[in-house]
């Protein structure tokens, strides 16, 4: 598979396509100052970034993907009380990693100890990063992943980019039950420096559990350029993608796509939020028991910003009323599910403090109860949710340290 050197899935600076990694060389998840405060394209900040991601393996173990002060990536298995069962450095090919909260590195676990990490590089200027994907596996030890084993990691070869592509960023990824990896990302295209870049949502999947990616599918020609994307695997195995789209009239509502190449894009919400800038506030999506999906998104109605939750059908149509989260301060919400358990978490402000709050349901989202999970001073990352093996975790990284709460 061919493509221009700067869009290849294998950085030329990396000497080996497969690496076994043992032991981490920098402390994991110490109190950090967010890289994003330094701004895109700035010189590397001397502090570790705040942005993290989290995922649950097939045995219910919680793993945290985080960054080092030297732009490295670390993967660690978390145990209660802040104890780390193991920590591993991951290869980056010598490239600087983009740790901005909306485009932070993403982690996914699949069957048989398969793992995948997607990250974007820091480009020569704003919105010129390139997507990299690492895939690999761990050695199994009985009923759990061996704490002392090292992940066997390789850079995946991504589908060739279009001739006009200048950046690939804001990735989301997930495994299906057969172990195939599904990937969605925003691809920026430019033909004239004097005109606005075009941004399209793309998706692709590996052709087998350990295979190469098949051809990319372009889903939308006018995606919002700085908002995260969301991907979820439905109960029927259907892979769905949710993203902020720029509809006719410059309205920044959300778009949903599921199924094959011929499936139509479904508009989620008709708020008609007209904005000549990106709000840096992407959606979140999770499978619903009995079919369909849970979704949360941020929008403006009557001049006020709010986060909404809704149950979507398998085609993305509204399957019930839209509900505003019970917090006018809610921002950067995420949703996840484990059977009938559904969690929505968000960040809010109370005076000088930041709060981690949650809506939690045990009946598939019919009834929710509100919880305040933590409050902290200082800067913080967007809250993250991790679900798997029947477990749900809320993960929130702050200057004061990492907050992990299991929801049950």
Binned at pLDDT 50, 70 and 90, residue 11 comes out as very low
Q: Provide the pLDDT for residue 16.
A: 35
Closest CA to 104 of 61, 30, 60, 54: 54
Mean pLDDT calculated for residue range 206-235: 91
Mean pLDDT calculated for residue range 31-35: 32
Mean pLDDT calculated for residue range 209-228: 89
Burial class (CB in 10 A: 0-12, 13-18, 19+), 169: buried
Q: Provide the pLDDT for residue 142.
A: 42
The model's pLDDT over 312-343, given as tens digits with 9 standing for 90+, comes to 999 999 999 999 999 999 999 999 999 999 99
Q: Which two three-digit tokens encode residue 67?
A: 């960054």
Does the pLDDT at position 13 exceed 60? no
Binned at pLDDT 50, 70 and 90, residue 220 comes out as confident
Does the pLDDT at position 10 exceed 50? no
Q: Provide the pLDDT for residue 149.
A: 60
Place of tokens 């010598």: 94
Mean pLDDT calculated for residue range 220-227: 88
Q: Provide the pLDDT for residue 193.
A: 63
Q: Phi, psi at residue 36, to the nearest 5°? A: -60, -25
Considering only 83-87, 147-151, 218-222, 291-295, which range has the smallest mean pLDDT? Answer: 147-151
Does the pLDDT at position 127 exceed 50? yes
Q: Provide the pLDDT for residue 161.
A: 82
CA 65 – CA 75 distance, rounded (Å): 5
The model's pLDDT over 301-313, given as tens digits with 9 standing for 90+, comes to 888 899 999 999 9
- Domain positions in the chain: 1-221
Q: pLDDT > 70: what percent of the chain?
A: 84
Does the pLDDT at position 41 exceed 70? no
Binned at pLDDT 50, 70 and 90, residue 12 comes out as very low
Does the pLDDT at position 25 exceed 50? no
Q: Provide the pLDDT for residue 83.
A: 67
Does the pLDDT at position 4 exceed 80? no
Q: Provide the pLDDT for residue 289.
A: 97
Q: Provide the pLDDT for residue 139.
A: 57
Q: Provide the pLDDT for residue 249.
A: 87
Considering only 36-50, 95-109, 200-214, 296-310, which range has the smallest mean pLDDT? Answer: 36-50
Q: Provide the pLDDT for residue 194.
A: 58
Q: Provide the pLDDT for residue 84.
A: 77
CA 187 – CA 169 distance, rounded (Å): 7
Q: Provide the pLDDT for residue 48.
A: 76
Q: Provide the pLDDT for residue 191.
A: 63
The model's pLDDT over 341-383, given as tens digits with 9 standing for 90+, comes to 999 999 999 999 999 999 999 999 999 999 999 999 999 999 9
Per-chain mean pLDDT for the chain: 84
Measured in residues, the chain has a length of 408
The model's pLDDT over 240-251, given as tens digits with 9 standing for 90+, comes to 999 999 998 888
Q: Provide the pLDDT for residue 9.
A: 32
């Amino acid at each position: 598979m061919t493509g221009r050197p700067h869009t290849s899935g294998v950085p030329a600076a990396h000497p080996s396509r497969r690496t076994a990694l043992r032991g981490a060389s920098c402390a994991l998840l110490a109190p950090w100052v967010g890289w994003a405060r330094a701004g895109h394209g700035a010189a590397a900040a001397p502090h570790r970034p705040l942005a993290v991601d989290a995922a649950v393996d097939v045995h219910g173990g919680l793993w945290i993907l985080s960054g080092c002060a030297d732009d490295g990536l670390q993967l660690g298995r978390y145990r209660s009380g802040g104890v780390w069962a193991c920590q591993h450095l991951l290869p980056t090919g010598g490239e600087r990693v983009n740790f901005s909260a909306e485009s932070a590195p993403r982690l996914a676990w699949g069957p048989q100890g398969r793992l995948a990490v997607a990250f974007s590089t820091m480009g020569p200027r704003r919105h010129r990063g390139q997507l990299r994907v690492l895939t690999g596996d761990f050695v199994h030890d009985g009923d759990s992943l061996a704490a002392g084993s090292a992940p066997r990691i390789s850079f995946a070869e991504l589908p060739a980019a279009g001739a006009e592509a200048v950046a690939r960023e804001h990735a989301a990824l997930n495994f299906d039950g057969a172990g195939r990896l599904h990937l969605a990302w925003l691809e920026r295209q430019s033909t004239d420096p004097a005109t606005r870049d075009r941004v399209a949502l793309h998706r692709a999947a590996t052709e087998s559990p350990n295979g190469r990616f098949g051809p990319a599918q372009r889903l939308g020609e006018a995606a919002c350029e700085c908002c995260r994307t969301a991907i979820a695997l439905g109960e029927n195995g259907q892979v769905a993608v949710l993203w902020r789209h720029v509809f006719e009239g410059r309205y920044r509502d959300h778009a949903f796509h599921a199924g094959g190449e011929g499936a139509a894009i479904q508009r989620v919400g008709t708020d008609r939020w007209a904005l000549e800038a990106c709000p840096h506030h992407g959606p979140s999506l999770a499978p619903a028991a009995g079919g369909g999906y849970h979704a949360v998104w941020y929008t403006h109605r009557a001049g006020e910003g709010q986060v909404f939750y809704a149950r979507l059908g398998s085609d993305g149509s509204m399957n019930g009323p839209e509900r505003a989260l019970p917090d006018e301060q809610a921002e950067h919400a995420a949703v996840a599910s484990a059977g009938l358990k559904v969690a929505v978490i968000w960040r809010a402000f109370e005076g000088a403090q930041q709060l981690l709050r949650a809506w939690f349901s045990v009946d598939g989202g019919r009834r929710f109860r509100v919880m305040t999970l933590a409050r902290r001073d200082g800067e913080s990352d967007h809250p993250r949710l991790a679900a798997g093996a029947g477990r749900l975790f809320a993960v929130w990284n702050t200057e004061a340290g990492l907050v992990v709460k299991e929801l049950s």
